[in-house]
Amino acid sequence: MPFDAPDKSKNPDYKDKIQISKQCTNKAITEIMTMEVVGIDESTSIEDTLELIGKYRFHNFPVVDKDYRLKGEIDQNIILELLFHNRLPSSSHTHLTAVRSLGEDAKSIMIPHPLTVSHDTSLCEAVDMILKHNINHVWVIDNKDKLIGVVTKHDIINEAYRTGKKD
């Protein structure tokens, strides 16, 4: 346990103090989402994609078209598979990894159809999706499928803590 972390075992009522689960239906996802999202154009070369990923320390990158509509995402697993394809265990050599290893642009290596929420989604709905699918984030889109932000588990935890501290 880190030295600066309070010992919650001596304070078992902390769950009662943080009541975000009762208030999350009234909180819009746009109130807590991160809007500074670095998108990768679907036509970006693999080399330029790798350069962008090296420049920004995110775990996932949205792949967008010229109108910033979300088309897919590239995660760190895909990048590791590309860079270390020869080190993959034979059980991981699938048709998909072979196709990705021959890819020439972001579109050819992305995961299509990432999980998204609408800009008018409540925080509770986003939490339900994240927990149900055991994912770390959801992309936030407007009513034209344009990417407007991302909500991560970290964002949600911070909001729960801030809300609990206000009460």
Q: How far is CA 101 from CA 42, 50, 60, 81, 91, in A?
A: 16, 13, 19, 8, 16
55 and 21 Cβ atoms separated by less than 8 Å:
no
* pLDDT tops 80 at residue 25: no
Out of 94-108, 125-139, 146-160, which region has the weakest mean confidence (pLDDT)? 94-108
Which range marks the domain in which residue 122 is found?
24-166
> What's the whole-number average pLDDT of the chain?
85
Each residue's pLDDT tens digit, 78-100? 988 888 877 877 777 777 777 78
14 occurs within a structural domain: no
117 occurs within a structural domain: yes
Which phi and psi angles does 124 have, rounded to 5°?
-60, -45
Q: Which CATH number does the domain housing residue 141 bear?
A: 3.10.580.10
10 — pLDDT class (breaks 50, 70, 90): low
Predicted TM-score of the model (pTM): 0.80
41 occurs within a structural domain: yes
52 occurs within a structural domain: yes
